[in-house]
Structure 1
């Protein structure tokens, strides 16, 4: 059978670790999951109640391709409440997760062969979706010295058609402040480079709130999701904010690619937007977990870590342990029952010397995980 080269994408290596962890659990072992970027909390109670109430009250068939008007209005209000920005709901498109937003963005903004810059290390799906759409992902190397943050000159000197920036970032947790994000947007606009802002981890901050690209310019595309702050990963519901001039273009693509985001998830998302007290309690738990993890990793000898300003990850150099990050992750799982993500997923060049740890689970699991990791590292000194 003839196949397309667009399917030649890399596997998501964390799934190897997840499978091994599940096999260990099936044998009765207690595994601490620090590998998956998934909240340990369920969808907000109000969201679950809204779905229950809607099951007998409506058919839950197709919605408008751009999403339920009430949901789009409420998302627009979120930007006023969080950022002081006025957004016309006509610019809001509800998507099947942030992944749907990436697919629509790349398809509507770029032609085959064009070059899109992404930070390295970075979320692996960016480069794989770009490759699958016949686009060229350009890895822009970030360094610990820069806090794993992109610099404006990296955009102006790379000859890009577009650039995608995440703040807070996955896997590092690094955030751009207003000056830093402004510099990147200005560099992009000066060179005719389309700017896409992945803001999926907004709401998960531990000092200052994250800055939205929409606070700086309307000539950007913003992608967000209910997966992380709203604890709704499996509901597959997200949104895009696009410039008015391209809203219809993106909508037409969405009609043919997805028809609409799942209706039931839109009902849940609308209710979740008013669950602030519960969501802030979750964030307080993550803040505690973050401190426990940073302290535990430091005590275990992990001293070279990215600044985890937001999200729920710590990205650490593990070169002092010797060996490859995937091999060491397998050893940690086998010896101590702790699952972590090897850096290969996030950095094809340097990922063999890093791990990503998620602190999105229960605090007790983080405490136990740190104790187990300390035992593991002590045996390798």
Structure 2
């Protein structure tokens, strides 16, 4: 007898939109790089983390809460929500929390973006915006950045063009202010004009993950601009200035409580852990110490910016805890050369290099490595 022909089993496959997505690439681990190149330590300036240990009150709160980890966390994060409501003078119903600001962005797209609708934003900006639209089956309306200074590189939002790009399909607009990865920020008058131009049925999210590092008085607090505008919400995080990157707590403040309610409905249950909630409450209670740390970072940002400009690199004024080196086609080459010298940065191929403001010692290591790269490269990177 002839053997029965084997039937080929169907192959399980992901949705096309998901299969086509590039994988998210976090900053390299410093210890892994050090082992790879055979040096004692490496400096990581890729992920915009604070160069400080956890706040003492945060460590105490985590230790005190550890005994509760056999129980589910408070899904509504009532204590943290009340602390945030008091801090920003809003009602608890205007707040929605998530497992980091990026997850709140995901909740926003799940709540407001249908297939065929769109998300608008300036580009280059936070790399998750187009990916979230892709997963939701939505389109992206990407508006190119423009030079923030005459003769400079494209690094700043063109809010006039962004407002013009909004159409009847646009459900969400993200304005990352200060912008990640360029560090530039838009100012009050142009932002107010933009918000007034966006249709009332389009939600504008002011992504202010780096708000605490803003020193330019002309850059407004998004919560102030939100008031009286029902289609505006503000996104913040505990990962940066508050030093809780490893615990993942982000939150949205919405003028319209219905917006916050929609975002809460798309929260993965219990995704903000008990430890994270307790740590965030403790961090808020340590605001004076946080302000001191932020001041140290912004002072070091000024020093680092001046040092880079002194090397002929056109670094824009940053309002975040990182600086942007517009290296263009040299970006990947320079990033790789820095890694070979035990310094990890964040390259955006063909565009620029984002470098976190580290401690003075870490930044000196970076500057020394960069000097070595500049002198070992015939053309250097100045003016790239």
TM bucket (normalised to shorter chain) is 0.7 to 0.9
Q: 1:342 matched to which residue of 2? A: 347
Spell out, residue by residue over 1:289-342, the C-alpha distance to the aligned partner (whole angstroms, 9 max, x if none): 212211221122212x2320x2211112224xxx542233112322x3322211
TM-score normalised to structure 1 length: 0.85
| Cα separation, partners in 2 of 1:47 and 1:145, compared to 1, 3 Å | closer
Secondary structure at 1:99 match in 2? helix
- Say which of 60, 78, 93 aligns to 1:49: 60
Mapped to 2, the partners of 1:354 and 1:43 lie a distance apart of: 30
Q: Summarize the alignment of residues 272-287 of structure 1 with structure 2, pairs less than 5 Å apart.
A: 272-287=283-298
Q: Answer yes or no: is the 8 Å Cα contact 1:71–1:269 preserved in 2.
A: yes
Provide the rounded CA distance (Å) in 2 between the counterparts of 1:175 and 1:139: 18
Structure 1 distance, partners of 2:282, 2:245, is 15
User: How far did 1:287 drift?
Assistant: 1.7
> Would you say 1:327 and 2:339 are equivalent positions?
no
Residue 234 of structure 1 pairs with residue 246 of structure 2? yes
* Contact 1:33–1:339 (8 Å) recurs in 2: yes
CA distance in 1, matches of 2:54, 2:122: 30
Instruction: Report the equivalent of 2:204.
Output: 195
In structure 2, the residue matched to 1:271 is: 282
User: Structure 1: which 4+ aligned runs deviate by more than 6 Å?
Assistant: none
The superposition leaves residues 63-82 of structure 1 with CA deviations (integer Å, 9 ceiling, x where unpaired) of 44332x22111101221xxx
Looking at CA atoms only, which structure, 1 or 2, has the larger radius of gyration? Answer: 2
The match for 2:120 among 114, 117, 122 is 117
Query: 1:77 aligns to what?
Result: 86
CA contact (8 A) 2:69 2:274 kept: no
Q: Over residues 131-178 of structure 1, what are the superposed CA-to-partner deviations in whole Å (9 max), with x where a residue is unaligned?
A: 122222222101224651232332223423321011111111112222
CA root-mean-square deviation: 2.3
Q: 1:32 to 1:251 in 2, by over 3 A?
A: closer
What residue number does 2:355 align with? 357
**From 257, 262, 269, the counterpart of 1:244:** 257
Q: How far apart in 1 are the matches of 2:74 and 2:345? A: 40
Q: Is the 8 A contact 2:120 2:162 kept in 1?
A: no
* Corresponding residue of 1:349: none
Task: Give the number of aligned pairs.
Answer: 354
- Structure 1 residues 40 and 25: alpha-carbon distance in aligned structure 2, compared to 1, 3 A threshold: farther
Larger helix share, 1 or 2:
1
Instruction: Find the counterpart in structure 2 of residue 347 from structure 1.
Output: none
